[in-house]
Copies of this chain bind each other. A is one copy, B any other.
Amino acid sequence: MTAAAGPARFSINQETVKQLSLTELAETCGKSGIGQVGLWRGPVQEYGLEAAARLVRDAGLSVTSLCRGGFLTAADPEGRRRALDDNRAAVEEAATLGTDTLVLVCGGLPEGSRDLAGARERIADALAELAPYAGERGVRLAIEPLHPMFASDRCVVSTLGQALDLAERFPAEQVGVVVDTYHVWWDDRAPEAIARAGAGGRLAAFQLADWVTPLPEGVLLGRGQLGDGAVDLRRFRELVDAAGYDGPIEVEIFNPGLWARDGAEVLAETAERYVRHVLPEQDLLGPENT
């Protein structure tokens, strides 16, 4: 192996370095010894699903998750049907890419609605249709609670506790949850929810981004590079470890400042920040090998 081995559990979500094309991402990961990527449906579809699956396979990359399905809160039959169709397609795409994890961003309130509880219940109804379908294809639906600032327009599931309340209605191999530090870092109940998720075998994915302020207009693209913000990333890694999670740790940062820079440089920086801020401190003294 010519490239230095990257950190073992590290996975780069392609949106973090979206200035890299899929081909460039595969090449850069190869050179950096990074063996895992999280993919998004848009760029995969653009490249071609089968071709993308071949590309990552040939590059020796594992796909740790596919983002994203979800948006399951439509109240009208037509919107609901479209959402179910789209999620079934997302499951197929995940299976083709060889990942067992489809991340779900569950959707906000329909236009004009103020009924959070009703929207959450429609998600459960949709999961009842999608979960067995996903399970049969070896894909797990991973409910991602989003920060409460997205509750109206993006995701009515705002805490890990709520995500578990939904997931636990279905078999653990069909529906799990995502712990993303950006979304749950503020929540004093997150530690107990992580333990609960681990005990129930529901920890489907662990994602990292840091919390930095001021938030930009629209707040979507305000995520910080690891170590730049307020999140105790190492503690969250310890919490998911203690809950029995030993899967990939995916870094997913939406930040125009990172996108404006050289992608390979951002990838190297991100891996370095991961070692420094996420791994056990003693690993800083020698080669990282966990």
Spell out A's residues near B (CB within 8 Å).
Answer: 109, 113-117, 120, 147-149, 151-153, 158-159, 162, 185-188, 211, 213-219, 229-232
Residues of chain B with a CB closer than 8 A to A153's CB = 213-214
Beyond the given A148-B186, A149-B219, please list 18 additional residue pairs across the A-B interface where CB-CB is below 8 A.
A114-B230, A115-B232, A116-B188, A147-B148, A147-B149, A148-B148, A149-B149, A149-B215, A152-B211, A152-B230, A158-B186, A158-B187, A213-B218, A214-B218, A215-B219, A216-B217, A217-B217, A219-B219
Interface of A is mostly: loop
Contact present for B188 and A117 (CB under 8 Å) = yes
CB of A29 to closest CB in B, whole Å: 29
Residue from B120, B147, B152, B213 in contact with A229 in the complex, judged by beta carbons closer than 8 Å: B152
How many identical subunits does the complex contain? 2
17 contacts between A and B (CB under 8 A): A114-B230, A114-B232, A116-B186, A147-B149, A148-B149, A149-B215, A151-B186, A151-B230, A152-B213, A152-B230, A153-B213, A153-B214, A213-B218, A214-B217, A214-B218, A214-B219, A216-B217
Bound together, the chains give a CA A213 to CA B109 distance in angstroms of 12
Bound together, the chains give a CA A153 to CA B230 distance in angstroms of 9
CB of A254 to closest CB in B, whole Å: 15
Query: Which A-B residue pairs are the 5 nearest by beta carbons?
Result: A151-B186, A152-B230, A149-B149, A114-B232, A148-B186
CB of A212 to closest CB in B, whole Å: 8
Complex: chain B residue closest to A112, CB-CB: B230
Residues of chain B with a CB closer than 8 A to A148's CB = 147-149, 186-187
CB of A109 to closest CB in B, whole Å: 6
Residue from B152, B215, B232 in contact with A217 in the complex, judged by beta carbons closer than 8 Å: B215
CB of A217 to closest CB in B, whole Å: 4
CB of A30 to closest CB in B, whole Å: 34
Complex: chain B residue closest to A229, CB-CB: B152
Residues of chain B with a CB closer than 8 A to A109's CB = 230
Bound together, the chains give a CA A218 to CA B218 distance in angstroms of 10
Bound together, the chains give a CA A213 to CA B147 distance in angstroms of 14
Bound together, the chains give a CA A158 to CA B229 distance in angstroms of 18
CB of A147 to closest CB in B, whole Å: 7
Bound together, the chains give a CA A149 to CA B223 distance in angstroms of 12
Residues of chain B with a CB closer than 8 A to A231's CB = 114
Residues of chain B with a CB closer than 8 A to A158's CB = 186-188
Bound together, the chains give a CA A218 to CA B120 distance in angstroms of 28
Bound together, the chains give a CA A227 to CA B184 distance in angstroms of 29
Residues of chain B with a CB closer than 8 A to A232's CB = 114-115
